[in-house]
Amino acid sequence: MTRTVLVTGGAGYIGSHVTLSLLEAGYAVVVLDNLSTGRRELVHGDATFYEGSTGDRDLVLKILRDHQIEAVLHFAASTVVPESLADPMGYYANNTVNSRNMMACCAEAGVDRFVFSSTAAVYGEPEELPVTEAASLRPISPYGHSKLMTEQMLTDLSRASSLKHVILRYFNVAGADPEGRTGQSTPNATHLIKVACEAACGKRENLTVFGDDYDTPDGTCIRDYIHVTDLAEAHLAALRYLENNGESTILNCGYNRGFSIREVIQSVEKNTGRDLPVVNGPRRDGDIVSIYAENSKILETLGWKPQHDDLDHIVKTAYAWETRSAD
């Protein structure tokens, strides 16, 4: 029997990749997206699409019941760290309050598998690297807090009900489907690799490095860039884990290593053959200096086997998408 899953945020960057993987694996997919940053054309033709909000209780309950949804993969969110500093109430409304609605609807409709898109931002500045799931949780942005509050609600609900969850803490997601079927088309994107690829193909005048006086080897911030296709496979593995009665758990999604902004720029220049117009700017508020994932827990728990752990490959697939998409 075909299993049907609900993907919130399925018109977005990561949700559209996971939808592809789910369809390929034989799931039926329903997408709920309000198109605030997502694109209608990124919703796969074989998925059923609802334009609407995760905060709309009646709509969410109707979808869960009409489609006999077995699991929810909850991507829909506001995702930009600096934007969250300027608009904290908006971030708590969309990321925390609307996520509460999704969980409450699942409890009411008897949907008891929930995969949640959390973030490395819940750790704040780590005391030790690589960072494990057991590290202190001290977010430094409203975005990180809004996600941590959702993690807490989910943990409490799972204790009090039959719901089981996998919380995936993504590190910096980048790249695009190697077959070019989907990619990142977020308007006014702020993500480093996306912005660098836009600059490389002349869609932006330059790339500003936000701070080069940090206490790191080359003075710029360090992140763990994970290929979006590997992340999509982690979601499939998480779903299967819950189907096999796995216990609720929290897992880092990253590669155990970090790259500085300068290293990313070098990779973009090498793989695009373009000199990037780079400008040195001031530090950006809310930035963590250095963070990368300890990933042994996800490898052991889900049997996840990353296939795309290579910065040059990540950059090449991101650039290939950038040069074929008009936006």
Ligand X SMILES: NC(=O)c1ccc[n+]([C@@H]2O[C@H](COP(=O)([O-])OP(=O)(O)OC[C@H]3O[C@@H](n4cnc5c(N)ncnc54)[C@H](O)[C@@H]3O)[C@@H](O)[C@H]2O)c1
Which of ligand UPG, ligand X, none sits in contact with 208, Cβ below 5 to 8 A by type?
A: ligand UPG
Q: Indicate the helix (H) or strand (E) that contains 158.
A: helix 142-160
Which of ligand X, ligand UPG, none sits in contact with 190, Cβ below 5 to 8 A by type?
A: ligand UPG
Say whether residue 195 binds ligand UPG (CB under 6 A). yes
Angle at 309 between CA 176 and CA 75, to 5 degrees: 50
Q: What is the DSSP letter of 132?
A: P
Which residue type is seen at 166? V
Which residue type is seen at 57? R
Say whether residue 210 binds ligand UPG (CB under 6 A). yes
123 is an active site residue: no
Choose, by CB under 6 A, the member of 56, 87, 125, 287 that binds ligand UPG. Answer: 287
Say whether residue 34 binds ligand X (CB under 6 A). yes
Give the separation between CA 300 and CA 158, rounded to whole angstroms: 22
Q: Which stretch binds ligand UPG (CB under 6 A): 31-39, 77-85, 231-239, 295-303?
A: 77-85
Which of 143, 214, 225, 319 is flagged as catalytic?
143
227 within 8 A of 314, measured Cβ to Cβ: yes
Give the separation between CA 191 and CA 172, rounded to whole angstroms: 9
231 within 8 A of 301, measured Cβ to Cβ: no
Say whether residue 13 binds ligand X (CB under 6 A). yes
Which of ligand UPG, ligand X, none sits in contact with 189, Cβ below 5 to 8 A by type?
A: none
| C-beta atoms surrounding 134 within 10 Å | 9
Which of ligand X, ligand UPG, none sits in contact with 90, Cβ below 5 to 8 A by type?
A: none
Nearest distance in Å: CB 81, ligand X: 10
Residues forming a β-bridge with 174 = 227
Radius of gyration of the chain from its Cα atoms, rounded to whole angstroms:
19
Question: Interface residues for ligand UPG in 120-149 (CB under 6 A)?
Answer: 120-121
Give the separation between CA 323 and CA 81, rounded to whole angstroms: 26
Say whether residue 150 binds ligand X (CB under 6 A). no
Choose, by CB under 6 A, the member of 4, 71, 73, 75 that binds ligand X. Answer: 75
Give the footprint of ligand UPG on this chain (CB under 6 A): 79-81, 119-121, 170-172, 190-192, 195, 207-210, 221, 223, 261, 284, 287
Q: What are the catalytic residues?
A: 143
